[in-house]
Amino acid sequence: MRIFPTCLLAIALAATPAVAQTSPEDVAKAALEAAPVFDGHNDVPGALRERYKNILADFDFEDTHDAPPSSFARGAMHTDLVRLRQGKVGAQFWSVYVSAALPEPKAVQTVLEQIDVTKRLVAKYPESLQITLTADQVEDAMAHGRIASLMGMEGGHSIWSSLAVLRQMYDLGARYMTLTHSKNTPWADSATDTPAHDGLTEFGKQVVREMNRLGMLVDLSHVSEKTMMDALDVAQAPVIFSHSGARAVNGHARNVPDAVLVRLKENGGVVMVVALPTYVGEEFRQWFARREAEKKRLETLWPGQSDQSAAGLKEWDTANGPPAATVSDMADHIDHIREVAGVEHIGLGGDYDGMPIGVAGMEDVAGYPALFVELARRGYSQAELEMIASRNILRVLRQAERFAADQRDVPPIETEVTSD
């Protein structure tokens, strides 16, 4: 019997495994349509403060390519509504970060201003953005085509060592707090400061307990390894790392060591993998360290002669261009976290608009689909990609809410106020 070419094609397709018939691009696309990205950390509120002094009258969030420069990012902003859609971002934790160098009373005022500007931004674009406070509200916003907008506080200095202030920040809508930023607080050690407390103080442990009672996510990005361990000892709800990588892949102190990843599996939390090149690419981190050493050498060689040292650094930069940190490097972090903790404990937290530029291929928020294509090429299933995109962090948020609901009859932790 003669078999026609169309029959041969049908027979060949029937004999081919279904996974082989679906391209990585198709797997990634299907995953992001089913579960849009829920990003753990974006610094647009800080960019509004730096670039626009929190004045939104002339700010166009549809397209921010013409935004005025900031102190650390001379180019365009990384985020606008057009690129969020291109990046398949369906939910966003906006960081209401304020500098860790501020005195704590000033930090409290400033974070209130950042909460205010975030709410005003969302209100300005009601067709595209929606303030959300719960996992159910996040899913409802995404189902109606709006980007669910939550707020995360970056740095415990913003509560002025007061559980009362913490509770009020939660009531204003903050749904996570990073225990430290770049400096220690009076009750917790940072990853990038000289240890002062050997992790968390007793008050720091009370902060974690009260956050759990409220349903506020405990964010362990930026904290020391000992603080991570102490927080995991105390936490009764899943923790998050809102924008961190795996230290085994990139040795920066801001990344999560394997000993913590092992414990994260038991806790149920997630590492939301960051796109900041210094934390992602080990070669980039080493290059940056050499550049900082050269900068210090030149400043020592030419004291009081900034033109000379600047010219020398420019010459060094010309001769020693930075290696690229790439989408592939970022996928390496995800691979490692999956190997140690499991795919259920991975999310994404780009840190866009809180850094000069993202990794090559993901320079701004539009780049997330490229990461998902890379992961699909590495064999991640659609279900696994959906977990990484948003299902894992939604589970964590729900578990925190559930624990808080169970604590409804537990009174707030009371602490004595200090004398004025």
* CA atoms within a 13 Å half-sphere pointing along the CA-CB vector of 145: 4
7 domain residue, yes or no: no
Residues of the chain with pLDDT under 50: 1-16, 18-19
CB atoms under 10 Å from CB of 40, counted, come to 31
**Residues 287 and 218 reside in one and the same domain:** no
Asked if residue 381 lies in contact with residue 334, where contact means CB atoms within 8 angstroms, the answer is no
On whether both 267 and 353 belong to a single domain, the answer is: yes
pLDDT of residue 72: 74
**Contact residues for 293 (Cβ-Cβ < 8 A; gap 6+):** none
pLDDT at 4: 42
Q: Is residue 305 part of a domain?
A: yes
Q: Are 140 and 167 contained in the same domain?
A: yes
Among the listed residues 230, 111, 220, 229, the one whose alpha carbon sits nearest the alpha carbon of residue 162: 111
Q: 134 lies in a domain? A: yes
Q: What is the pLDDT of residue 420?
A: 66
Domain that holds residue 317: 282-322
Distances in Å between the Cα of 106 and the Cα atoms of 99, 109, 110, 256, 305 are 10, 5, 6, 30, 35
How confident is the model at residue 419, as a pLDDT? 62
* Same domain, yes or no: 191 and 290: no
Q: How many domains does the chain have?
A: 2
411 lies in a domain?
no
pTM: 0.93
* CA–CA dist 67, 413 (Å, integer): 44
In this structure, are 305 and 159 located in the same domain? no
According to the model, what pLDDT value does residue 155 have? Answer: 98
* Domain co-membership, 168 together with 218: yes
DSSP 416: P
CA distance 385 to 72: 33
Does 136 reside within a domain?
Answer: yes
CATH number of 210's domain: 3.20.20.140
Q: How far apart are CA 273 and CA 256, in angstroms?
A: 10
Decide if 149 is inside a domain: yes
For residues 265 and 291, membership in a common domain is answered with no
165 and 78 in one domain? yes
Q: Do 51 and 116 lie in a common domain?
A: yes
How confident is the model at residue 58, as a pLDDT?
Answer: 92
Residue 209 lies in a domain: yes
Shared domain check, 185 and 43: yes
Residues 145 and 270 in one domain: yes
Q: How close are the terminal C-alpha atoms of the chain, in Å?
A: 98
In a domain, 12, yes or no: no
What are the residue numbers of the active site?
41, 43, 154, 181, 222, 243, 351
The reported pLDDT for the residue numbered 418 is 78
183 shares its domain with 298: no
